[in-house]
Structure 1
């Protein structure tokens, strides 16, 4: 068994703790490690890093871990630590990743990798120059619903794809009469918050990998809720966009419409849905499920507002079977990344892929500011 020390910076946060530490790294440990292609088993040893020693100590005690520190520089200087993982706030990411790359650590990081395209490309080029392996979280691609959708695309189910509609979001409470479900920094642009910066990197890799490459963007961003209350109950000005509405053109003339909002109440089966229409069929995927309607099973409605609707439209769709066992998406991607580090195999979701996500966010912000459609050039 081969042990690998992973510096995990930011695991006291919600996402870093639940999805990356507990449901990924600790889950890999609980299954006895990660089997590698040659028969060796990789066993991850997390080294927790953060600003609050008491929280880190409590996490170690809770999960029977032994290594934690508030000194990132010391952790990076330790040659026993091979991999650096970052799930801090966005504003702290570039500086920490730069230090880790300079120290010769392999890199795995949450998105967005940076607030600007220049910084994102700078990280990718530095990692290449230093010869370290680098990866960026692309968790949506590992959702069962999107894996089923990708299978439909690859099989030619849709015929010629016409349009994509992504509907994402839910109501995030303001924090005054009910605590907010998301950290307050998400709603302050000076702290790296904002819907476009948070979600457009996701939509970029989803569209690029599942449907077709993005070629242009027109976006409008809004701050619907101008004042919120933070974790201490203090009111603050929400300076970041909490919703974004976009029309993207994909390769082949496919039109993608995307609504992303933290100020909407859910009337969907899931918090996000991906609706794809094609000449031969349509599909609606969520986090886990995917429903389809082939052209041979498509009803023929006629618009007549004077009569009640006679079709049960949702009842005419068919559920795509699982036909597979789906593990936690974050864990599956961790396993792929760790295997790439251990074997030297190519890894697709690297810092250059992360830079493409930042590019779309940057162009989306510019489009919203200038009120015009912008081309998305190849990097």
Structure 2
């Protein structure tokens, strides 16, 4: 079968996520295995063009992976007729203007989230891309995790009966940068650079809840900055102006209630860095990055509260492992392949800029709820 080539401008390839997950584990892995296979057997090969600010880093990455082209000028990449698709993994504050430029240059766009710093800006980006007839997508990587795919299988199979609630725990301890180096970039803790755990994670929680149980209709949240001072990549102290933890209650259509804690100031006492528990009338399940365990009502034990005796119930042993029943590729790569097929052959792709705008709307509502100390109801974005 014939193979066509899709040129992909990768902006932000020198960053942690841009390099490891998107370039190495997705684009280059696809390239090295012969491209993305289309329904008819034809293949689409991907040819990355690196874009960034640091020429030394770009040159080193290009040489390491056999990439022919790189540039520090976005306009150079966007004016290249061999570039069909623009991907953005920059810091949030730089993303909107670059996406606007890519749309203006007639490139299909795929982006990390959030796509902009406000709902209004995201909605406008979606409208501009639609008007230009361009394909557009936003990374929704959590949906492609093996654990959540197994959880989705249980939902689709009616395992839970009527779903009652969702409980989520996400986070880990991010070192302050003094006696141990921080494992996240410092911009994440500066609001002026687009940082903050609400802006970051509420976008994720919106699409996870939408996909698993239904759209969020209201939110009550408390966002806090637990660590007021951190040290940057040069070891210099700086004031943390962005929230590093958030505690949210999300109301979902149908009377379902979700509670999700997100924190970069928590030490992990769970099996995985993120876990979701779904409880229903017929059964419950707990899903993480890879594992998913379930307990049906017929096998649910009958604990009795008695603080005078030690706990004898082996609670964790009373859950059953949900089998893989499938092969799970890297989640970022799986969505890249889905989006490339969307660009080339069309078809439905629900994880677009409009979906990304809904995530930003939830983040904005969460911050507003925290600032005003009240429940915030959500309305439909102009994107629908």
TM-score (normalised: structure 2): 0.98
Structure 2 match to 1:129: 131
Structure 1 match to 2:373: 371
Structure 2 match to 1:117: 119
Does residue 329 in structure 1 map to residue 326 in structure 2?
no
Structure 2 match to 1:158: 160
Give the whole-Å Cα distance in 1 for the aligned partners of 2:50 and 2:111. 15
Q: Secondary structure of 1:81's partner?
A: coil
Q: Give runs of aligned pairs for residues 270-289 of structure 1, distance below 5 A.
A: 270-289=272-291
CA-CA distance at 1:210 after TM superposition: 1.2
Give the whole-Å Cα distance in 1 for the aligned partners of 2:128 and 2:18. 25
Does residue 88 in structure 1 map to residue 90 in structure 2?
yes
Give the whole-Å Cα distance in 2 for the aligned partners of 1:245 and 1:213. 19
Structure 1 match to 2:183: 181
Following TM superposition, the consecutive aligned residue runs of length 4 or more in structure 1 with deviations greater than 3 angstroms are none
Give the whole-Å Cα distance in 2 for the aligned partners of 1:38 and 1:305. 64
Structure 1 match to 2:320: 318
CA-CA distance at 1:191 after TM superposition: 0.4
CA-CA distance at 1:322 after TM superposition: 0.4
Deviation per residue, 1:291-327 (Å, 9 max, x gap): 0000111111111100111210110000000000000
Deviation per residue, 1:244-276 (Å, 9 max, x gap): 000010010000001000000000000000001
Structure 2 match to 1:260: 262
CA-CA distance at 1:78 after TM superposition: 1.4
Structure 2 match to 1:67: 69
Give the whole-Å Cα distance in 1 for the aligned partners of 2:250 and 2:53. 40
Structure 2 match to 1:148: 150
- Which of 133, 138, 141 lines up with 1:139 in the alignment? 141
CA-CA distance at 1:38 after TM superposition: 2.3
Structure 2 match to 1:307: 309
Give the aligned length.
Answer: 379
Q: Secondary structure of 2:367's partner?
A: helix
TM-score (normalised: structure 1): 0.99
Give the whole-Å Cα distance in 1 for the aligned partners of 2:154 and 2:313. 26
CA-CA distance at 1:346 after TM superposition: 2.2
Structure 2 match to 1:215: 217
Deviation per residue, 1:10-39 (Å, 9 max, x gap): 010000000000000001011111111122
Deviation per residue, 1:138-193 (Å, 9 max, x gap): 00000000000001011110011111001000000000000000000000000000
Q: Secondary structure of 2:276's partner?
A: strand
Give the whole-Å Cα distance in 1 for the aligned partners of 2:61 and 2:371. 43
Give the whole-Å Cα distance in 1 for the aligned partners of 2:266 and 2:41. 49
Deviation per residue, 1:198-230 (Å, 9 max, x gap): 000000000001111111000000000000000
